[in-house]
Amino acid sequence: MNHTVVGLAVALACAPGITTRLAESATPAPGRQQNMWNWTGRIAPGKALEIRGVNGRIEAEFSSRNEVVVTATKRAHHSDPDEVKIEVVQHEGSVTICAVYPGSSNRCGTDDAYHMSTHNNDVEVEFHAQVPAGVAFRGGTVNGDVEVANLAGPVNAETVNGSVRLETTGGDASANTVNGSVAAVLHGQGTTPLSFKTVNGGVTVSVPKDLNADLEAETVNGSIETDFPITVTGRINRRHLDGRIGQGGRHLKIETVNGSIRLRAL
């Protein structure tokens, strides 16, 4: 199968000054080739770590250290894992890390600078990141889940065939998939618009009970449930709801086609 991804994630913020350490080792596994890759570096609070894959899950968790640590595990049944390179692109304080498959047009970067096609290569790359407080995290893949645990900064998580599960104390987050569910837990208030979308799957969003937001929730084949009293400002039926939570404020958009929506109060 040939997968092509162009510009999957959002542009990152910028600032100078990054130190890095790289290491790579190979470990054979019965019936399957495998090797490991590691990167350690410092990213200032307010800047971003972005991870971009094609085949394989992405995981991120909070780290109390002041360094970012990223580990990539490459596995394959038929292709050579060494054919897929892990590239690190540093741009004015932020870092983008990509799984780069063989191909003359493939390139690592952010936004339109990114292009990737697997060319029938069956290597899977699983990323695991440890992220300090204040560092924004962007994780995007095509075939695989994205799971973010207890981060303390903004989060953007994207996949196509997989589920997204995220939790952050930062209060700013977005998640998007096509075939899979979305579950988001936001402990902080945050300031930016919130967006959680899928096509085939349910969406559950848990936010502080004192949240102020303008809600837009819509499903085609499913229902909408909310723990919050809603002041209706637009259409309302079992599949569409426009309304104000608390005093209103930033936009909270929740969408699915085939699945139900649940908005929970923490």
Q: Which domain holds residue 86?
A: 13-131
**What's the pLDDT at 14?**
34
Q: Are residues 23 and 117 in the same domain?
A: yes
pLDDT confidence tier of residue 31, bands split at 50, 70 and 90: low
pLDDT band at residue 32 using 50, 70 and 90 as cut-offs = low
Do 122 and 171 belong together in one domain? no
Same domain as 189, residue 125: no
- Average pLDDT rounded to a whole number, residues 181-202: 96
Tell me how far apart the alpha carbons of residues 123 and 262 are, in angstroms, rounded to a whole number.
36
Region 36-58: mean pLDDT is 97
> How many Cβ atoms sit within 10 Å of the Cβ of residue 44?
17
Residue 69 pLDDT > 60: yes
Are 120 and 179 contained in the same domain? no
Question: Do 28 and 104 lie in a common domain?
Answer: yes
Write down which residue in 112, 131, 150 finishes a domain: 131
Question: Which tens digit of pLDDT belongs to each residue from 71-92?
Answer: 999 999 999 999 999 999 999 8
pLDDT of residue 157: 98
Q: Between β-strands 164-168 and 146-151, what pairing exists: parallel, antiparallel or unpaired?
A: parallel
What predicted TM-score, i.e. pTM, was given to this entire model? 0.86
Q: Once rounded to an integer, what is the mean pLDDT over residues 239-257?
A: 95
Establish if 105 belongs to a structural domain: yes
Mean pLDDT of 61-70: 96
**Tens digits of residue pLDDT in 118-139:** 988 999 999 999 999 999 999 9
Number of domains within the chain? 2
The domain boundary, picked from 110, 131, 152, lies at 131
Give the pLDDT mean for 180-203. Answer: 96
Mean pLDDT calculated for residue range 180-209:
96
pLDDT, residue 1, reads: 42
30 pLDDT exceeds 70? no
